[in-house]
Amino acid sequence: MGQNLAVQAESGSLAESGGFAHYNYQIAEILKGGIGKMFLKKLLALAAAVALTGAVCCGCGKSGSDPAGSKEVSEGSSGEQAEEKLPETDEEWNKAMIDKSMTSYGNTTRMMNKIKKAQSGEEVTVAYIGGSITEGLTAGPDSCYAKLSCDYFAEKFGTGENVNYINAGLSSTPSKLGVLRLDRDVLQHEPDIVFIEFAVNDGSDPDYQGAYESMVRRLLSDDNEIAVVLLMAITEEGHTAQDYMKKIGEYYSLPVISYADALTFMFENGKMKWSDFSDDQSHPNVGGHKLVCDMIANYYNTVADQPQEAEPPLPAEPVFSSRQETAELLESDQLVPESLGSFSEGTTISGFKNGWSYNDDGSDQPAVFNISGKFLYMIFKENSTGDLGTAHVTIKCGGEVVSEKDVSGIRPGGWGDPGIEILVMGVESKDYTIEVKMADGSKGKQFEILAFAYT
């Protein structure tokens, strides 16, 4: 998450019965308080599938049977549904919420190919990239939605030990960093299926949009024909970047699962409150992670029922930007500095241990790196308080200084997480020399270069 908040909200209750998870939403009378005609129409359309098929039984986090029936995403297909009624029971409301999360199935070709691959006994790798929600903060690595949904996939489609799990969630990181670490943390494992979750870590400015889309395009263009699924999250305050992410999903015909929409639907109808889902302002609690898993399981259970069409080619032009599609990360195992100066190898952040840290040895010599690219990035440790200082960075090309800048490790909103500084923005690849030393007034303080990256 962009900020790992520890504010405790009022705790809600989760109960289990009937062999699958039921969530106690403290349902009020359905028509209490008055419901407008427009709302009734929408809710009636949504409830039709509930009346016909009953509740979904996904069984995430448990050994359970598959739910019966399938669903359609479209709410506009109610013309044939003459006898509709509002949800009345906990099960019916739960089913309506699960249905609401399924924004789009997109083109189903790649996912069906991966399901068939798993069913045939071939090895399948399911990977997840995102922030602390994906990492499993507050729930733990074995109770997070990623592990639960991978286990569900393995139980439903696997033949034993043929499904592999990769969790590339990293706390406090947005897609701007995700696209830079995509090759190291995801693609090197040759994944078959990749879930992307950055909706609450991202803003909506062009840098985020371009990074997110670049990540999608990089995955879709991989030779392994990766099945990409977009997962949309939300915070208690309602922050989510899902609007532009949904546009990207539609443009590339991708499945979109929005627990943001599902929770909002329940909140607006008074059938659930935030504390039923989360114990802070951002992260699902254990029951919340099971609920997100139920939404993913619903997708797995119904994807085969959707119309199957030929997969469209990757669009030549992006919606926003594909500038970072070829981004690569450079750490100490790939980049040997011309000189270490007053720095030494090794850094302290989880997920970035192979960088370079400043040592106050009295010599005050710069670390010197030679890197080629159009865009160059420096990834560094940032925090809102502490002993982190400011580094002075000099960028040279052909022996001439082309830019100088100071990069402070103290930044508002920092949580000891990786920060990103753009060093070079060019239209063609060039050879650059990067010199990093402590700025005046920062000698004796700390600074960590976690990595460099380039396009």
**Each residue of 220-235: pLDDT tens digit?**
999 999 999 999 999 9
Q: State the Cα–Cα distance between residues 233 and 292, nearest whole angstrom.
A: 9
CA 453 to chain centre: 20
Give me the domain span that covers residue 340.
Answer: 328-454
Structural domains counted in the chain? 2
Q: Determine the length of the chain.
A: 455
Predicted confidence band of residue 21 (pLDDT cuts 50, 70, 90): very low
Q: Does residue 48 share a domain with residue 161?
A: yes
Q: Does residue 165 share a domain with residue 32?
A: yes
Q: Does residue 215 share a domain with residue 180?
A: yes
Q: Does residue 155 share a domain with residue 25?
A: yes
Q: Does residue 238 share a domain with residue 338?
A: no
31 token code pair: 């028509």
Q: By the 8 A CB rule, do 369 and 337 touch?
A: yes
pLDDT at residue 7 is higher than 80? no
Distances (CA, A) of 82 to 2, 30, 48, 85: 47, 20, 9, 10
Residue 187 inside a domain? The answer is yes
pLDDT at residue 6 is higher than 80? no
Q: Does residue 250 share a domain with residue 141?
A: yes
Q: pLDDT tens across 81-134, in order? A: 445 567 889 999 999 999 999 999 999 999 999 999 999 999 999 999 999 999
Q: State the Cα–Cα distance between residues 51 and 302, nearest whole angstrom.
A: 17
Residue 4 inside a domain? The answer is no
Q: Does residue 279 share a domain with residue 152?
A: yes
**Residue 251 DSSP code:** H
The residue ranking higher by pLDDT, 355 or 83, is 355
Q: Say which CATH number the domain at 443 has.
A: 2.60.120.260
Q: What is the pLDDT of residue 443?
A: 85
pLDDT at residue 75 is higher than 60? no
Q: State the Cα–Cα distance between residues 422 and 424, nearest whole angstrom.
A: 6
How confident is the model over 146-175, as a mean pLDDT?
Answer: 97
Q: By the 8 A CB rule, do 433 and 393 touch?
A: no
Least confident of 8-12, 177-181, 293-297: 8-12
Q: By the 8 A CB rule, do 355 and 331 touch?
A: yes
Q: Say which CATH number the domain at 25 has.
A: 3.40.50.1110
Q: What is the pLDDT of residue 83?
A: 52
Q: By the 8 A CB rule, do 423 and 393 touch?
A: yes
| Domain stop point among 305, 320, 340 | 305
Q: By the 8 A CB rule, do 193 and 225 touch?
A: no
Residue 5 inside a domain? The answer is no
Q: Does residue 349 share a domain with residue 288?
A: no
Residue holding tokens 């109770």? 143
pLDDT at residue 260 is higher than 50? yes
How confident is the model over 291-309, as a mean pLDDT?
Answer: 97
Q: Does residue 170 share a domain with residue 63?
A: yes
Residue 314 inside a domain? The answer is no
Torsion (CA) 302, 303, 306, 309 in degrees, nearest 10: -170
Predicted confidence band of residue 362 (pLDDT cuts 50, 70, 90): confident
Residue 288 inside a domain? The answer is yes
Residue 311 inside a domain? The answer is no
What are the backbone dihedrals phi and psi of residue 181, each rounded to the nearest 5 degrees, phi first? -100, 5
Q: What is the pLDDT of residue 61?
A: 57
Q: Give the global pTM.
A: 0.82
| Domain stop point among 272, 305, 338 | 305
Residue 446 inside a domain? The answer is yes
User: CB-based contacts of 32: which residues, under 8 Å, 6+ apart?
Assistant: none
Q: Does residue 380 share a domain with residue 279?
A: no
Characterize 117-150 residue by residue with b for buried, 16 or more Cβ atoms within 10 angstroms of its Cβ, and e for exposed: bbeeeeebbbbbbbbbbbbbbbbeeebbbbbbbb
Residue 348 inside a domain? The answer is yes
Q: Does residue 98 share a domain with residue 156?
A: yes
| Domain stop point among 305, 338, 363 | 305
Rg of the chain taking only CA atoms, in angstroms:
24
Q: Does residue 342 share a domain with residue 227?
A: no
Q: What is the pLDDT of residue 268?
A: 95
